[in-house]
Structures are given as C-alpha cells and as structure tokens.
Homo-oligomer: A and B are copies of this chain.
Amino acid sequence: MTDLLLRDARVWGHETLTDLLIRDGVVAATGQDLSADGAHVEGLGGKLLLPGFVDAHAHVDKTMWGGPWVPHDAGPGLMGKIRNGVERRDEIGLPSVNYITALLQQMIVSGTTHVRSHVDVDTTMGLAAVDAVREAVARLDGRISMEMVAFPQAGLLISPGTAELMDKALAGGVELVGGIDPAGLEHDPVRHLDTVFGLAEKHGAGVDIHLHDGGPLGVWQYDLIIDRALALGLQGKVTISHGYALGEVPVAEQDRVIARLAEAGIGLATVAPASAAPLPLVRLREAGVPVGAGNDGVRDLWSPYGNGDMLERALFLAQRSRFVRDEEIEIALEAATYGGARLSGRRAGFAVGDPGDFVAVDVRTPAEAVCVRPVRSLVVKGGRVVAREGRLV
C-alpha cells in the first residue's frame, strides 16, 4: 500500500502545522517538511486534523437508513420498543445488509473510522443480524472497522435459548458480550450478570452492558458490575452503556462510584440523550474513567432520529453537559474520539504508532468543529483516503 503524507495539518492540541506520514496503516513519522518520497500527498493547508471518530455505541443492525420513511409506532416503555422491534422487522426486511451498508457509508463520510455496534441476538432471528453486519462491513472493504457486541435485546434470562446463541456468536468471533438492565428488564440481576461475565470469561471477550435503570437501582447495578470486573481481572475490558443512574444520584454517591469505576478500569458509553440526566463528564475525566460517545440507533424502529454524525453527537453531549467554553466542548469531542478508542483498547492520536485514522475539517479549533459541524474535508482510515468533501472515495 502506498504511503500517505498529510501535509500542513493543524493537529488538535498543537499550534504549529505538522506533516504526518502514514505507512502500513499507522503513523510512521511526524514533523515539518517531511520527505514525500513515493507517498501520496494530501495538502491540508492548515485544516484542523482530528483522530478518526469512534462511534462507541451503535445499533447498525436495526437501521432503516436509505429506505422509505417509517413513522414511529412503538408502544410505551422499554418493553413496548422491544416488542415493536421484533414484531415489525420482518415486514420491513430487517436486518437489511443494504440499509446497514448505507448507514456505514454515511458514518464514513461523517468521519467515523471505527464503530462498536451492539447487534441483536435472539431466539427468533438467531445470528442473522451478526451475519448481516459482517456482510455490510465486508462490502465497505476496510473503509471502516467494526467490533460487535452480542446483544440480548429481547432479554437473556427471560428469553431462554439466548445465552446459547450468544455463546455461539462469541465462538464465531464476535468481540464482546452484551447485557441489558439486569434488574429492570431481567428481574434477576445476579444471575444475568453471572451469565454475561461467564460468557466473557469463557471466550476472553469484552463486556458492554446496557443499563437504563435509574437512580439507586441503577447505581446498585454499577456496583454489581464493578465487583465482577474486579473479581475476574477484567480491567480495561468492561463498558457500561447509558448508565443514566450515575447522573441522577447525589454527588457524594457519584464520587464513590466513580472511584470504584476507576479502580475496576470500567468505562462508560453515552449517547447524550435529550432528556435523561447527563453523565458527570468532568469528574469522570478527572478520575481517569474513559467515556465514549455513540449515536445509538439511527432511524430504526426504536427511534426516528439520528444521522450517524459523531460531531453532531459531540454537540449534543456538550449542550446537555452545559459546556460553553472551548476546553469544555473539547471534553465532548474527546468522547467522540479518544474516549471511544480507549473503551476498545485502541490507540488514537498523532504519535508514531497511532493508527492512520483521521478526519480533516476546515475550521480553526476543535470547539468550532463541534459547534459548526462542517463538511468533512478528508477522512482517512488506516492510511487510505476513504472520503473527501462529504463523499465516499
């Protein structure tokens, strides 16, 4: 593969313009006036260069992106959405490799270079969604990387047979094991979590658990998850998704849990919902707890919203967190880049050895990038130009 030389980049966090040479998918050299020797050269002319965006919480298997408009029609609550999703997906033809591919393309042109997607595994569909996501990713031929979470959307204990399917998915290479509201949905939190962590241990897989349960009930489950991560030595391999509860309890209780999260090496993924309590991002950051951001479902039977754009998600996260200063807004952008990468144990940045995953935008500061959400001038994945001016290359 030809080397790529990014010339005159305004690298996030640095004042002077820099060149970056990307060889074999990773940064091989940085500095001024690097030699172009045989490399493909992209002159950035002072454009801002950011690490490729990481969508740390997606549900690409459910999307209807690129299809006709489907008015939202789910019953109330989590169970109403679960039932509606299962009942209507056949009629609409979900999971659809075409829709998933269309959404991934949209993500790529928006600057996303890596996605963690929860993928439904259930007893009526089996592993069809896993297969569909794999096929869509294959169609995009390396323009975006993907890790999957075997996700028991319809419940694990309440849907007998699901654990066996998740076991099969993990044996087949799915990277992480998922869980969902061990108390609120499953009504047996200890057995739910023991099953999830048992699968993780068996397969050496990571863990990513949906936790919508609020207040003290949610925080109590934080503790159950932390206990298991510590006992099994899974530091750096466990994520709690949503985890609204942490934003709902008193500050002293938040701080107790944050200290334990840091000790257990657990990270959080947030989709910055418009109405749930925001996570305490600043104190999580001070404690060293990684926080990633994700778009959640994009135009699916769960929600009519979303467009796959991580800069827009960073905007939502910043606004919900009442961030207004540049250094605050950058915390939201960190979640869309470095934070998501950390959850996945991936490197991100501008140093030699970091992956050649970058986005260039024609603005002057990272905060401006979040506020303006400009067309992505250039998207680079593994040292290859994959999108330019909002269009797939």
> Interface of A with B (CB < 8 Å)?
68-69, 71-74, 274-275, 299, 303-307, 315-316, 319-320, 322, 324-326, 329, 363-365, 367-368, 371-372
Contacts and interface: CB of A to CB of B under 8 A. Distances in A.
Contacts of A364: 68-69
Nearest to A315: B305
Contacts of A304: 324, 326, 329, 367, 371
Given A307-B372, A320-B275, A367 B69 contact: yes
B365 A69 contact: yes
B319 A274 contact: yes
A326 B71 contact: yes
Contact of A69 (B68, B306, B324, B368): B368
A211 to B, nearest CB: 20
Contacts of A305: 315, 319, 324, 371
Contact of A367 (B68, B71, B320): B71
A208 to B, nearest CB: 24
Chain copies in the assembled complex: 2
25 contacts: A69-B364, A69-B365, A69-B367, A69-B368, A71-B325, A71-B326, A71-B367, A72-B324, A72-B325, A72-B326, A73-B325, A74-B324, A274-B319, A274-B320, A274-B322, A275-B319, A275-B322, A299-B371, A304-B324, A304-B329, A304-B367, A304-B371, A305-B315, A305-B324, A305-B371
Contacts of A329: 304
A371 B300 CA distance: 12
Contacts of A316: 274
Q: Do most interface residues of chain A lie in helix, strand or loop, or is the interface mixed?
A: loop
A301 to B, nearest CB: 11
A247 to B, nearest CB: 12
Nearest to A299: B371
Nearest to A73: B325
A315 to B, nearest CB: 8
A68 B371 CA distance: 13
Given A69-B363, A71-B365, A305-B371, 5 more contacts: A69-B365, A71-B325, A304-B329, A304-B367, A305-B315
Nearest to A372: B307
**What 3 A-B pairs come out closest when comparing CB atoms?**
A274-B319, A71-B326, A72-B324
Given A69-B367, A71-B367, A324 B303 contact: yes
A50 to B, nearest CB: 15
Contacts of A367: 69, 71, 304
A365 B69 CA distance: 8
A320 to B, nearest CB: 5
A367 to B, nearest CB: 7
A114 B339 CA distance: 42
A145 to B, nearest CB: 27
A282 to B, nearest CB: 15
A304 B305 CA distance: 24
Contacts of A325: 71-73
A146 to B, nearest CB: 25
